Structure 1
Amino acid sequence: MFIKSISIKKLFGLFDYNLNFKDEINIITAPNGYGKTICLKIIHSLFTYDYLYYFNLDFSEIIFETESGTLKISKDIFKEEVNKKKRFTQSHSLDDEFFYFENSIIIENNEDDEVDEDYRPFNLRFNFEGYEYVLTESKFKRQLINILSEISNLRKAGRNEWINIKTREISGFEQLIKELDLTKPIRNFLPEWLGNFSTGHTSYFIQDQRLLKRINKSPHKNLNSYVQAIDTYAKELKNHLIQSSLDFSVISQDLDSTFPQRLLSKDNSSTNVSKEKIVEELNKVQGNREKLKKFDILPKNTSVDSLITAKNIDDIYVSVLNLYLNDTKLKLKKFDDIYKKINLFSSILNTKLSFKKIKIDSEKGFYFIRQIENNIDYEKEHILNLSQLSSGEQHQVVLIYELIFNTKEDSIVLIDEPEISLHVVWQEQFLDDLKMITEMNKAKAIIATHSPQIIGDYWDLVIDLEEIRKFGL
């Protein structure tokens, strides 16, 4: 399911936008303050069930038109309830009384103080093809609290704080909600039609702050720990390589254990396979192995099938070699996805980096070497720390990595200001790189940018919020 259009009414109380998406890649542009990034977050919140974002956002109505139907999210504001709330707080001491209002009903409060800390007197109303669902912020927060309470390692540690009793990490309520993947339990308490609306797609949001990633919180309040994203992604790629090797081992063990049985089976007929064809296929397999060895996906000492020629194949071995070939193709197929991604990742970066080259390694994931012309041995001696890359180079590596490895098939990729820290030439090349990546991952992308260099010759993909504001387009 891809979004065909979004209509946003009274964003910040000011803007009415109609955004029509028509291609694999769409570009949202406008001056600062028009809500480019907000448009991305509105989409991301829909597919991640982050309805807290909608409660915090100033708007009156959002309409999503998709391939499966039209969903409208609107706010019901209760002025009368605001007055009741004011009268109540004026005539009672909140130190003595523990009540709050929801839908004009007085409800006794419990220890879950989060639900009324940021009280907002409105509902979210969801309408979809004849269905309707009304959600209050307090109800949604209580459901989230219930979900957190069922996670074995989490305990409530304060008014808005939770602690992981194993790691002693302390997290704020809303921060914890963003960090955990709660899409499935949230979907389970929503009406089926609303839960299913967002199920068909994965949304991945690449934010403007990309170089740091938050890790475990300190046991001391308000202390966050961060690591360089580039270090994290090098380790992630190493894990991807390990997993692909494990998948290869599993299918290899399965095929090898049944090889004699299948070889002697009546179904193993190779009468139509020539010796020349066997040699041709062996050479293709060996070529595939060499490609995988280049990125350390396969060990360097793997097989030498290219030494086999048609002359030294006896007739009795044709069926054996044919079955061996079929099995080997199935085994190596397990590496197709990781090879395709690593090959594109390294080729994009190696065309951009000056005097440096990316290397793929099963122990390091990826690393960089310094290159100097006419000095063959220099590469072996000058491995760079990832932190030695410039800010622009790190931005490029992190951005391309996220797009290639973190974007799932049929997902919507939301990219906020891809131009940050990138050289003008890299900005001009970005959309061409993005097109290759989205085609490979069968994904769609929506970009928010200020940069005319990013847009380049692709002005037909642009949605200009300033023009919509001026001319109502």
Structure 2
Amino acid sequence: MLSEDGQVTVTRQLTGIRVRGLLGRFDHEISFPESDEFIILHGPNGVGKTMLLELIQSLSGTLRVPTVHRIPFTDIRLTYSDGSQLEVSKAQQETLPLGEEFEKQIQQLFFSLRLPDGQEITSNVGFDSDEFNTTRFRDWAARVLDLEPLGNDTWLTSAGYTISTMDLLSRYADRLPPRALRMKEGRVDPNILNFLRENEVHLIETQRLLTLEDSDVNDLRRGSARNPAVSKVEAFAKDLTRRLAEALAENSRTSQELDRTYPTRLLQAHTESPSEEKIRERYSQQNELRKALSAISLLDEKVGQIVIPKKMEPWQRNVLWTYLEDTEKKLSTFSEILDKVSLLQEIVKSRFLYKHLKIDRRRGLVLVSDEEAELGLSMLSSGEQHELVLLYDLLFNVQPGALVLIDEPEISLHVSWQKRFIEDLQRIARLVQFRSVVATHSPQIAGKWISRMVSLGPDAAN
């Protein structure tokens, strides 16, 4: 939610995490004060840092029941700044009848949501997630629902977008085959689902250099080779091209509307003519903005430049002031993407040796040497790719007000880069406006922020 000054106001923030029986062994309790921008989870391999992040993600936004079932834990409690509290626990396995053919043991998930007013909502759900990964069910989903499996918990619809298995259960409950229906017992209360949807979470996983390439839906349905893995850097370059095009389109719409109403507004009387000093100062500021936008290929620096008379009559000042007001509104359509791109370029320039990023509206990200020779993005080292992917993801893919979960940001990064990661994270978080949980093996990540570090491990287990 945006306040009047354009700041994001978040009514509910995660402030506490308690999980018991994680991996059948560990109990972790984590405090995340509302005033803190981030916390750092530090511990050796095998204490469940990654699984804890996945569990938090699965209990936020769209509920991911298969993932919650897959992760071994006894119960988890998430506490929020508005006084609400969500608890999820796993029941012992119980035997459920699956028709006359056989019986099978499945687990039940029990949900309990306590709202700020003291109201408590409970429900439970359970199903055998293995059934949804069988060839039998996948063939049925393709034939009846026109869905293509993309992974253990993701399906591609004929419209070209993806849904989770939980979405499949909710959306097609009345069309599922009897075997699948019998494996589903109970429903998560809609109030709990709505609560989860209000908690925006963005997970950045350890495997972040590759992604699935978008494929033509008709090709997918014809059984062609699907979704080849492509470089995330290349995918983000393509994504930036799209964002630049959208910014240009928005600027065009704004410009057309302002130009349409310009004559009417020009004829409206000004209560007081602005001074020549204010006009020249405002025009100078806009010229600087034009230079910055020209550097990222969004604007021709010379477009819109005018010659301001040395001496102006009141009517001239009024005309110029109206023109400058319109120009400011037009240029403001680029402000968000300019701020993000500028910060991306600034951080990359301070990290990469002998190379830097240029922005091109047709190709997005372009890598060039210090001698201005163009280099392919494939020339980036593993560490440089990890750095660029992390920065871009945080800047462009995180929603304002979200909770960001970052797993092992230190991967392939030099120690000096690790030491500066939190500084970069803070700068980006202030621009995009989010909070974050960072899980790491590296004490170098914490640096001077050792007070924000929570140790997870055998010695820290309750």
Into which bin does the TM-score normalised by the smaller protein fall?
0.7 to 0.9
Distance in 2 (alpha carbons) for counterparts of 1:370 and 1:164? 52
Could you tell me whether the CA contact under 8 Å between 1:230 and 1:394 is conserved in 2?
A: yes
**Cα pair distance change 1:18/1:53, threshold 3 Å:** same
Task: Specify which of 105, 119, 124 is matched with residue 135 of structure 1.
Answer: 124
> C-alpha displacement at 1:137, in angstroms?
2.4
Partner in structure 2 of residue 122 of structure 1: 108
Task: Say yes or no: does 1:407 pair with 2:422.
Answer: no
Could you tell me whether the CA contact under 8 Å between 2:147 and 2:155 is conserved in 1?
A: no
Partner in structure 2 of residue 107 of structure 1: none
Partner in structure 2 of residue 159 of structure 1: 137
> C-alpha displacement at 1:284, in angstroms?
1.5
Partner in structure 2 of residue 176 of structure 1: 155
Distance in 2 (alpha carbons) for counterparts of 1:223 and 1:259? 51
> C-alpha displacement at 1:35, in angstroms?
0.5
Task: Say yes or no: does 1:278 pair with 2:279.
Answer: yes
Task: Say yes or no: does 1:50 pair with 2:97.
Answer: no
Distance in 2 (alpha carbons) for counterparts of 1:251 and 1:424? 46
- 1:164-190, CA deviations, whole angstroms, 9 ceiling, x for partnerless residues? 99x996534623289825698989985
Partner in structure 1 of residue 258 of structure 2: 255
Distance in 2 (alpha carbons) for counterparts of 1:432 and 1:72? 34
> C-alpha displacement at 1:249, in angstroms?
0.6
> C-alpha displacement at 1:427, in angstroms?
0.9
- 1:73-92, CA deviations, whole angstroms, 9 ceiling, x for partnerless residues? 112225xx43x76xx9xxxx
Partner in structure 2 of residue 342 of structure 1: 341
Partner in structure 2 of residue 210 of structure 1: 208
Distance in 2 (alpha carbons) for counterparts of 1:337 and 1:185? 36
Distance in 1 (alpha carbons) for counterparts of 2:386 and 2:350? 15
Identity rate, percent: 30
**Equivalences for residues 457-472 of structure 1 within 5 A:** 457-466=448-457, 469-470=458-459
Partner in structure 1 of residue 199 of structure 2: 201
Partner in structure 2 of residue 308 of structure 1: 308
What is the count of residue pairs matched by the alignment?
A: 419
Query: SS at 1:62's partner residue?
Result: strand
**Cα pair distance change 1:355/1:7, threshold 3 Å:** same
Could you tell me whether the CA contact under 8 Å between 1:276 and 1:310 is conserved in 2?
A: no
Distance in 2 (alpha carbons) for counterparts of 1:43 and 1:177? 24
Partner in structure 1 of residue 42 of structure 2: 29
Q: Which amino acid aligns with 1:465?
A: L
Query: SS at 2:304's partner residue?
Result: coil
Query: SS at 2:459's partner residue?
Result: helix
Task: Say yes or no: does 1:417 pair with 2:408.
Answer: yes
Task: Specify which of 1, 15, 19 is matched with residue 30 of structure 2.
Answer: 19
> C-alpha displacement at 1:123, in angstroms?
3.4
Distance in 2 (alpha carbons) for counterparts of 1:368 and 1:273? 45
Q: Mean Cα displacement is larger for which, 124-133 or 291-300?
A: 124-133
Distance in 2 (alpha carbons) for counterparts of 1:428 and 1:471? 24
Structure 1 unpaired stretches of 5+: 89-93, 102-118, 146-155, 373-378
Q: Which amino acid aligns with 1:159?
A: F
- 1:185-205, CA deviations, whole angstroms, 9 ceiling, x for partnerless residues? 989985343123223332111
Could you tell me whether the CA contact under 8 Å between 2:290 and 2:301 is conserved in 1?
A: no
> C-alpha displacement at 1:222, in angstroms?
9.4
Task: Specify which of 404, 412, 423 is matched with residue 432 of structure 1.
Answer: 423
Partner in structure 1 of residue 75 of structure 2: 61
Distance in 2 (alpha carbons) for counterparts of 1:361 and 1:55? 45
Structure 2 unpaired stretches of 5+: 1-11, 172-186
Could you tell me whether the CA contact under 8 Å between 2:298 and 2:361 is conserved in 1?
A: yes
Could you tell me whether the CA contact under 8 Å between 1:187 and 1:195 is conserved in 2?
A: no
Distance in 1 (alpha carbons) for counterparts of 2:347 and 2:223? 42
Task: Say yes or no: does 1:448 pair with 2:434.
Answer: no
**Cα pair distance change 1:253/1:223, threshold 3 Å:** closer
How large is the RMSD of aligned CA atoms in angstroms? 3.2
> C-alpha displacement at 1:139, in angstroms?
9.4
Task: Say yes or no: does 1:236 pair with 2:214.
Answer: no
- 1:53-105, CA deviations, whole angstroms, 9 ceiling, x for partnerless residues? 11122222111110231111112225xx43x76xx9xxxxx9xx54656xxxx
**Cα pair distance change 1:221/1:339, threshold 3 Å:** closer
